[in-house]
Structure 1
Amino acid sequence: MNLLNVDIASAGYENGKPIIHNINFDLKAGELIGLIGPNGAGKSTTIKTILGLLEHKKGTVEFKQGVKYSYIPERPIFYDELTLWEHLDFTAAVERLPEIQYKKRASELLKEYNLSEHAYKFPGTYSKGMQQKAMLILAMIAKPDVYIIDEPFIGLDPNAMKLFLESIERERQRGAGILMSTHVLDTAEKVCSRFLIVHDGQLKASGSLDDIRQQCDLLAGSLYDCFHQIAEGNDNEK
């Protein structure tokens, strides 16, 4: 079942100056898609287009009717005057979550991510890793159908990264679909169902790792090998 269908002909920040072209894919329930590409390739622009943040767009982005999604940005964003618990209360109110179930889930997530003792503090005082964990909790509290995650591993230590991967695996098992941009290719290779490799604003390869290998003619290559060949090949054409 497709939760999200994306068919972007072009999109950018200024009229007549597109940054990305011909980005086409769908996201199914229980699937984790890795959005891969170098800095400036168009990953963040693709995500912003999906979120409806860019005015200058040609194409369609369609979420399945009734689907809820959570967005986890690369840089954590919080209200300066709210504690983490108040952020959670605000999210629960917006999503109209039943109070008893919401508080139980919030307490479980805070404990799991070792933030229980910091829940009544302002996230602006947290370390970068703690802020990233707080954003993950806020995203997961409503049990969305779709997660859109931009570079989640920045600021996470190995233990927190392991915890994050376990959390999104549980969400996948629940049936959530996940689109995740990342530079951590060895981890992406292990956990992602499919990949979208973007370079120079265009989708250069897509599919499972075996599909990517065939498209790159590297039948035993790693994701890094395939990514490097695509990036190097396109750079040599310039």
Structure 2
Amino acid sequence: MGLQVNNLTGGYSSVPVIKDETFDVQSGELVSLIGLNGAGKSTTINHVIGLMTPFSGSITVDGIELQQNVRQYKQQLAYIPEMPVLYPELTLREHLDVTMMAYQLDRTTAWKRAHELLRRFRLDNKLDWFPANFSKGMRQKVMIVCAFVTDARLFVIDEPFTGLDPLAIDDLLELITERKRQGAAILMSTHVLDTAEKYCDRFILINDGHINYEGPLAAMQKRYADTGSTLTDIYLAMARDGQHE
């Protein structure tokens, strides 16, 4: 079923930042959320992960509505933020332990998956290190491992390629593809449009808190045939038009 956002309006204090957004991310699908800085991407994500309360509208994951059952909703979701959020007093092993407890995972199965992920991202020799002291890229890898050790039905990934080396980016894309095949829904915000073009099934273009376009690249190319053929060409033309409205 995946993620369903219906007529979502929200923001900070009493000021709406996003207005009447409606979109979905189906199971087995990778959808990219694209927009300029300040367009409303982060506000949208903060509502989807439950950090902000909508002014109006609804958000559901696999039929579970956020406002009706917050705990059950959040156990269906894993989030990888742009800036890693880690506990300075916990080792990598302890971060994984906390994640497993929070998601009520079977520890034998979860640790088997964790060791595979740790090897993939070259962190298997750092279990007793403190990730808060790692480099930005390594801290990002810790967040990726903690997210993908779960059985989440929805992954929300915010600018995941920032700070990652090329090998880690390739590992992450392989991991996303694997989870898609297993039926997970994945919403990803990114400015790396050439990568998004290759891997994403659909695109949500947001400007000034409104969704300007939602659909696959082929339909976008047909609709905006006079702007260019690549996602970058189309998006830049639409962004410039939006700034002049």
Q: Give TM-score scaled by structure 1 length.
A: 0.94
CA RMSD of aligned residues (A): 1.5
**Alignment match, 2:216:** 208
**Alignment match, 2:28:** 30
**Alignment match, 2:57:** 59
Q: Secondary structure at the match of 2:38?
A: coil
Q: Which runs of 5+ in 1 are unaligned?
A: none
C-alpha displacement of 1:143: 2.4
Q: Is the 8 A contact 1:213 1:226 kept in 2?
A: yes
C-alpha displacement of 1:20: 1.1
Paired with 1:9 and 1:71, the residues of 2 have a C-alpha distance of: 20
The residue type equivalent to 1:91 in the other structure is T
Among 67, 70, 76, the alignment partner of 2:84 is 76
Q: Secondary structure at the match of 2:16?
A: coil
**Alignment match, 1:41:** 39
**Alignment match, 1:106:** 114
C-alpha displacement of 1:133: 0.6
Query: Which deviates more, 165-174 or 93-102?
Result: 93-102
Q: Which runs of 5+ in 2 are unaligned?
A: 65-72
Q: Secondary structure at the match of 2:24?
A: strand
Q: Deviations over 1:23-61 (max 9, x none)?
A: 211111100000001111100001011122223521111
Q: Is the 8 A contact 1:74 1:150 kept in 2?
A: yes
Q: Is the 8 A contact 1:205 1:215 kept in 2?
A: no
The residue type equivalent to 2:221 in the other structure is R
1:227 aligned onto 2:235: yes
Q: Is the 8 A contact 2:61 2:154 kept in 1?
A: no
Q: Is the 8 A contact 1:33 1:179 kept in 2?
A: yes
The residue type equivalent to 2:22 in the other structure is N
Q: Is the 8 A contact 1:49 1:57 kept in 2?
A: no
Q: Secondary structure at the match of 1:183?
A: coil
Q: Is the 8 A contact 1:20 1:46 kept in 2?
A: yes
**Alignment match, 1:139:** 147
Paired with 1:191 and 1:169, the residues of 2 have a C-alpha distance of: 8
Q: Is the 8 A contact 2:2 2:25 kept in 1?
A: yes
Q: Secondary structure at the match of 2:94?
A: helix
For the structure 1 residues 148 and 124, does the alpha-carbon distance in structure 2 shift closer, same or farther, using more than 3 Å as the test?
Answer: same
Q: How many equivalent pairs are there? A: 235
Paired with 2:20 and 2:190, the residues of 1 have a C-alpha distance of: 20
| Identical columns (%) | 42
Q: Is the 8 A contact 1:8 1:57 kept in 2?
A: no
**Alignment match, 2:96:** 88
